[in-house]
Amino acid sequence: MNHAVRRRIAATVGIAVTGALAGVALATPASAHVTVNPREAVQGGYAKLAFRVPNEKDTANTVKLEVRLPIDKPVGSVSIKPTAGWTAETQKSKLDKPIKVHGADLNEAITTITWTADPASAIKPGQFQEFEVSLGPLPETDKMVFKALQTYSDGDVVRWIEEPAAGTEAEHPAPVLTLTPKAASPSGQPVAAANTSSATGESGSGGAALWAGPPRDRGGPAGPRGRRALAAYAARRASPLISRSRGVGATSPAPAARVSPREPGRSPSAGG
């Protein structure tokens, strides 16, 4: 093989390797974007959410996260769980249409949450951080889109604000929470009964049963368990009589009949 052929082979291999590495570099940002977890919640309820923020850079730290709640689908209650080394601030906006929360009308709602890191608590390369909130009541809509801005220590700001579109994959997608309708109970469907072991006198899995009186007090014919319970109940009723007969002042049982040795078989009360 001459030198010209070798050079062509080497050039072809180099181009292929470079293309593969470029493909990996382009795929990395799409696989490590800001997300909300869980991805699904129920309309009208409350949800505990975590915004997961990975650091995608090798030479800078993430120092701030700004999450924008949709103003057209507001929630009346927003609670923020403290994150060590980070300071959280909220911003309210006036609503075009008031929302009702626990019977009261709200004309404004929290629409922006900003977390800022202390110098020693920034998200370093190869690390991620979760920021937790509680939201509710959730609006009656199919989804909530949370647009997020991630700020790095070198001044770069990554805008995770692209809304999902059918058939396309966004380069910087916004976190999306899918909302499902509240499950409706079928008409006439009986409500599932709670554990009734204390009412029936039968124990659950290994638990002690509570006494609820003899089986006749509970209605219906008694089975084998009921008959045993009735026998125990009768024994308990009889035990105080036995104990009183042995105490002071108790009535002694009648003495047995005595037979005269001279006249076997006759009682003393018999006539001569």
Give tens-digit pLDDT for 250-271: 444 555 555 445 544 554 444 4
- Cα–Cα distances in Å, from 184 out to 142, 192, 252? 17, 14, 71
Burial track 218-241 (b if 16+ CB lie within 10 A, e otherwise): eeeeeeeebeebeeebeeeeeeee
Q: pLDDT per residue over 112-163, tens digit each?
A: 999 999 999 999 999 999 999 999 999 999 999 999 999 999 999 999 999 9
For the structural domain made of 31-180, what CATH number should be given?
2.60.40.2230
- Burial label, 35 (beta-carbon count in 10 A; 0-12, 13-18, 19+): buried
Q: Which residue has better confidence, 230 or 27?
A: 230
Residue 173: pLDDT band (50, 70, 90) is very high
The residues near 159 (Cβ < 8 Å, ≥ 6 apart) are: 147, 148, 149, 172
Residue 3: pLDDT band (50, 70, 90) is low
Q: Which residue has better confidence, 146 or 238?
A: 146
The answer on pLDDT for 23 being more than 50 is: no
Q: Are 147 and 179 in contact (CB under 8 A)?
A: no
Task: Please give the structure tokens belonging to residue 166.
Answer: 């059918």
What mean pLDDT comes out for the span 6-14?
Answer: 54
C-alpha span between 50 and 146 (Å, rounded): 12
Q: pLDDT per residue over 185-234, tens digit each?
A: 555 454 343 333 333 333 333 333 333 344 444 444 445 666 676 677 66
Q: pLDDT per residue over 87-115, tens digit each?
A: 999 999 999 888 888 788 889 999 999 99
Query: In three state form, how does the secondary structure of 67-90 look?
Result: EECCCCCCCCEEEECCCCCEEEEE
Residue type, 194: A
Q: How confident is the prediction for the chain on average, in pLDDT? A: 74
What mean pLDDT comes out for the span 36-50?
Answer: 96
